[in-house]
Structure 1
Amino acid sequence: MEIVITGRHTQIKQRFRDVVDSKMNRVTAIAPDAQRIQVVLTHEGNPRQADSAKRVELTVQAGKTVIRAEASSADEFSALDMALDKLTQRLRRVRDRRKDHRRGLEHPPLPADLPVDDQPGDEGDQGDQGQESNPDNSAQTAVASDLAPGQSVEVQVGDTPIVIRRKLHIAEPMSIDEALYEMELIGHDFFLFVNKETQRPSVVYRRHGWSYGVFEIDTTEHVGQKK
């Protein structure tokens, strides 16, 4: 399995690399088909956030499945352990779901009270791979530029703190149940997908309590044609 370690606002020390390498057997033990894991260590410079100054994001690619987890702590090693615990729980759910599928069993019900990561990133994000700069620093270019699958563009709007990030995500049509499952795997509180029943771009999201919601997007012209 390929292990890629990157740092944001921090340098990666050799000791951290060694610890990561020693712990990744937990991933391969559960998901032997895992091809790649992206480890991103981020340092928060605000002294008021010392208790969560280090954030570790883990993204595993196993076939067509992407599983993600992240955690923050005062040091990178504690954050790594917490993120790895979340990741292995999600990997076990993937493994168990595959076993049930082979046995012809129904998918197990999705838990509605899973904890949400403190700072979710982009859906399916794998660090800064494929990210391009915007030389003319214009919001128009960030929104209108053509992107390749998995590629992203990020730009700061003028002198404001507003940053626009756009990424092209290739989605296979799936059911709402499958979209909820994928949302739980990456640890976000929303997930974009194409509903295979309606062929509409859709998003599932976590509501308060024990419920989920789903939005579907269509145009007035397209809906009118169906009448």
Structure 2
Amino acid sequence: MDIKITAKNIKLTPAIREFINTRVSKVENFFDNIVSAQVLISVEKKINQRAEIILHTGAKTTINASAVESNLYKAIDAAAVKAEAQAKKIKNKAKARKISKKSVKTLEMEPFAEVMLPQTDVKFSVIKQVEVSPMNPEDAAYEMERLGYSFWMFLDESSKQINLIFKRLDGTYGLIKPIKKK
């Protein structure tokens, strides 16, 4: 694991660096997908020693832990304990998901016709009217990202039709264009 250490208002000694490397490396015992780590140590008002640990995993998960103590080593240790607790929690959730997926696979399948009952009443909890602007798909993707939405409806400026752009789980975009039914 690559560990980047940043010190603010304090001199980073080899002893501190070694303690950080040892303490942060122990988190890997609980969570083996850690790609890199950032550790920020600082002194605030000559009394408080602050340690912040940020761990980046291969699963796009980030673990953040920070602690403020009167002693720098205590702050680093406390932040590492918090990071370990978060790593254990993430690992246990992943195990629980795997177990639940297996249990779903082993269930007997009911006949499809019995499961799919016709719905008579459709109830909407929210109905929104959206003003669509003419734009190209690239502008629509930018607007969707800027506003923090997972999808965006827009009027395609070339075809003059309503289109829908959405963010896929793999980080790419999808575009839904209407066509006439034959």
Aligned residue for 1:103, secondary structure, equals helix
> What is the RMSD of the two structures over their aligned residues, measured on CA atoms?
2.1
Once the two structures are TM-superposed, the CA of residue 195 in structure 1 deviates from its matched residue by 6.3
- Report the equivalent of 1:26: 26
Residues 196-211 of structure 1: pairs in structure 2 closer than 5 A: 196=150
Amino acid at match of 1:74: S
2:86 to 90, 97, 109: 90
Amino acid at match of 1:62: T
Q: Report the CA distance shift for 1:96/1:58 in structure 2 as closer, same or farther (over 3 A).
A: same
- Report the equivalent of 1:2: 2
Aligned residue for 1:10, secondary structure, equals coil
Q: Which runs of 5+ in 1 are unaligned?
A: 106-172, 174-192, 200-227
Query: How many residues align structurally?
Result: 107
Once the two structures are TM-superposed, the CA of residue 10 in structure 1 deviates from its matched residue by 1.7
Once the two structures are TM-superposed, the CA of residue 18 in structure 1 deviates from its matched residue by 0.8
1:61 to 52, 56, 60: 56
For 2:99 and 2:67, how far apart are their aligned partners in 1? 34
How does the TM-score come out when normalised to structure 2?
0.54
For 2:86 and 2:54, how far apart are their aligned partners in 1? 11
Q: Report the CA distance shift for 1:5/1:93 in structure 2 as closer, same or farther (over 3 A).
A: same
Instruction: Give percent identity, aligned residues only.
Output: 21
- Report the equivalent of 2:73: 77
Amino acid at match of 1:99: K
Q: Computing the radius of gyration over CA atoms, which structure comes out larger, 1 or 2?
A: 2
For 2:10 and 2:62, how far apart are their aligned partners in 1? 26
Once the two structures are TM-superposed, the CA of residue 194 in structure 1 deviates from its matched residue by 4.7
Once the two structures are TM-superposed, the CA of residue 94 in structure 1 deviates from its matched residue by 0.6
Amino acid at match of 2:29: A
Runs of 4+ in 1 over 2 A off after TM superposition: 193-196
Once the two structures are TM-superposed, the CA of residue 15 in structure 1 deviates from its matched residue by 0.6
Q: Report the CA distance shift for 1:27/1:43 in structure 2 as closer, same or farther (over 3 A).
A: same
For 2:25 and 2:15, how far apart are their aligned partners in 1? 17
Once the two structures are TM-superposed, the CA of residue 24 in structure 1 deviates from its matched residue by 2.5
Over residues 50-72 of structure 1, what are the superposed CA-to-partner deviations in whole Å (9 max), with x where a residue is unaligned? Answer: 2xx21000000012000100001
For 1:23 and 1:86, how far apart are their aligned partners in 2? 12
Over residues 122-142 of structure 1, what are the superposed CA-to-partner deviations in whole Å (9 max), with x where a residue is unaligned? Answer: xxxxxxxxxxxxxxxxxxxxx
How does the TM-score come out when normalised to structure 1?
0.44
Once the two structures are TM-superposed, the CA of residue 103 in structure 1 deviates from its matched residue by 1.6
Q: Which runs of 5+ in 2 are unaligned?
A: 102-144, 153-182
